[in-house]
Structure 1
């Protein structure tokens, strides 16, 4: 089978890694910015308020998270909206795009426990089901979870059992590899369709996504497996892929130029791609900390400050993770 099919089964098959709820953070297989600090979602809430104030996002527009897992990220956004601009919590419409029924139920339960009936949460299985006038789309670590093909010096991989063989000629993969100057590495599958679905979902929107990778393609394979905070290079000798299949996360570095091209081909304007630390500081994460310092106990402030450092310090998440942003304005 194609490697993209193999990876799709690994992550999204009936018994795939993301088909059921998994812990993320200290008790899970890996950390994300969401599990590091609530101020990640808080900064997005502050940005949403700025979009409403500038007239780009309608006060009754949609705030939509794609691939929300537990629902913590969107819930953190809602919590900070309540603190910073409570009337928006009543006027905005909150949406999660989630393909799995079990995760939808998990998210509904979490929102019910957190907010009762104050927030009405709407689910869609895909962006193709959504049609609206005004929206803000947000995603965290989504593009690294798209299935990919593996390319090596002109050949594309196929999978036999769990063994990887580079012996297939694939014109589309070869064209992408040439375009992004890859002699070997991962070629993501699905960015173009995803961008078109989003472009068709809303008349006017901003989309912001955080992920790890670089604008230009890295010159080697980055495919790796995360299990209990251990990292296993996919091509490591004696790696037991059979045992890890579906029970661990498999991911790779994003080539943001590919994401950019997919959205521009769909008629969506590219705004920027910057390190996570730059984006969070620009959107006001330090101002939120100042508010906390003025209104909370010093011990609580220092605890939250240490968590925020995880997000913005260059040697932690601040530099390696990037924020990419797009706008469609009809």
Structure 2
């Protein structure tokens, strides 16, 4: 039993079972024992690999997308280019390299990274040491003004609540001590208030289903939508998820590139859940923003020219690099890899024209 699990056990013994959202928040963000607070989880030596680490073309294309969006906004100067959950800084580094040739873009851009991990902040500082970067622990601290927000695999790590429909109606899943072991277990607490968090089409479904919702994700999307509606700008979010709300558990733990038990090794594995893009879009819209998509990541990248970019790189690649380029393109775009599982959604100021790839 590690120190975080001991801490959670003491909390449950003192105040009773905790929600899944509370459990996720502690496992990921506890200031002393949280998963993201003391490690670099990315890459082959970590627990998972994200799109920017697969190929530099991913960040380059997102940078060019941001430059086109900036031009559609009327090329404001200054403006804020903000990344939420920037990992190692790889995406931003590639984006800035690709946009050097866009007249006025980098002169106008104030770069902001929203990061809570001290370890990752150090990695980002090294990766972007030639740039002037501003760090924040919340997007709400980004100064006023038009802004373009990029969120790649950000919303999936936000805490969720889980609700299960049994014989007596809806109940919320909580986490309690397992009386038969030293570990933890899921329990149910009756909660009629849960119905208010659910889409109308699911409230009267038959028993046996489990529904997930991320109030924090909705609140952040609403806040971002209000920001760009009032001050101008756009939000581009890429994540794995689904386009229609439905039953099913997606909460998962990842450790050493493999699935791990959710209720074990607290703080030592990444915890994520699939993003509900319909609810995400509704949060943007309720704040006054206009939404575009969601669409599959493979389609989005193809519309931005990823195949042409790889075709341009292949003639200059050696025998060792060529298979890696082909594999990277397949992983990012193929329907049986990230191409379909990952979705892309954009929110803009209501008067913004169709963003690149969403025409």
State the partner residue of 1:45.
Answer: 63
Instruction: Give the distance between the partners of 1:178 and 1:267, measured in 2 at CA.
Output: 20
Residue 188 of structure 1 is aligned with which of 214, 236, 254?
214
What SS does the corresponding residue of 1:159 show, helix, strand or coil? strand
User: Which of 165, 175, 179 is 2:196 aligned to?
Assistant: 175
Aligned mate of 1:108, from 104, 108, 125: 125
1:163 paired to 2:185: yes
2:94 counterpart of 1:94: no
1:18 aligns with 2:45: no
Q: For residue 9 of structure 2, what is the aligned residue in structure 1?
A: none
Describe the shift of the 1:301–1:50 C-alpha distance in structure 2 as closer, same or farther (beyond 3 A).
farther
**Secondary structure at 1:62 match in 2:** strand
Q: CA RMSD in A?
A: 2.2
User: Of residues 109, 123, 126 in structure 1, which corresponds to 2:138?
Assistant: 126
Distance 1:100 1:20 in 2: 7
Instruction: Please tell me whether the aligned partners of residues 224 and 251 of structure 1 are also in contact (alpha carbons under 8 angstroms).
Output: yes
CA contact (8 A) 1:192 1:266 kept: no
2:150 to 128, 138, 148: 138
* Preserved contact between residue 20 and residue 102 of structure 1 (Cα < 8 Å): yes
Task: Measure how far apart 1:272 and its partner are.
Answer: 1.1
CA offset at residue 86 of structure 1? 6.9
C-alpha contact (below 8 Å) 1:205/1:329 kept by paired residues: no
Per-residue CA deviations over 1:7-46 (Å, capped at 9, x if unaligned) read 1101111211112232312222122212211111011122
Tell me whether 266-275 or 191-200 shows the greater mean CA deviation. 191-200
Mapping of residues 180-219 of structure 1, within 5 Å: 181=202, 183-202=209-228, 203-219=231-247
Larger deviation, residues 281-290 vs 150-159: 281-290
Quick one: which of 308, 312, 318 aligns to 2:333?
312
Conserved? CA contact 2:52–2:58, under 8 Å: yes
What displacement does 1:192 show?
3.0
User: How far 1:293 moved relative to its partner?
Assistant: 4.6
Aligned to 1:238: none
Q: CA offset at residue 95 of structure 1? A: 0.9
In the aligned structure 1, how far is the partner of 2:87 from the partner of 2:190?
Answer: 35
Aligned to 1:231: 259
Aligned pairs for 1:247-266 (under 5 A) are 247-266=268-287
| 8 Å CA contact retained: 1:21, 1:70 | no
Alpha-carbon deviation of 1:87? 4.9
Q: Residue 286 and residue 216 in structure 1: after superposition, are their counterparts in 2 closer, same or farther (change >3 A)?
A: same
Distance in 1 between residues matched to 2:331 and 2:311, nearest whole Å: 17
> Residue 190 of structure 1: CA displacement?
0.9
Q: Which runs of 5+ in 1 are unaligned?
A: 235-240
CA shift for structure 1 position 158? 1.7
Could you tell me how far apart the structure 1 residues matched to 2:226 and 2:116 are?
Answer: 18
1:17, 1:229 → 2: CA distance? 15
Structure 2 SS opposite 1:26:
coil
Task: Show the counterpart of 2:72.
Answer: 54
**CA distance in structure 2 between the partners assigned to 1:36 and 1:90 by the alignment:** 29
User: Which structure would you say has the larger Rg?
Assistant: 2
1:256 deviation in Å? 0.9
Deviation per residue, 1:226-268 (Å, 9 max, x gap): 111111464xxxxxx23x2100011121111111111111111
Residue in 2 that maps onto 1:237: none
Is the deviation greater in 218-227 or in 2-11? 218-227
- Hey, what does 2:313 align to over in structure 1? 292
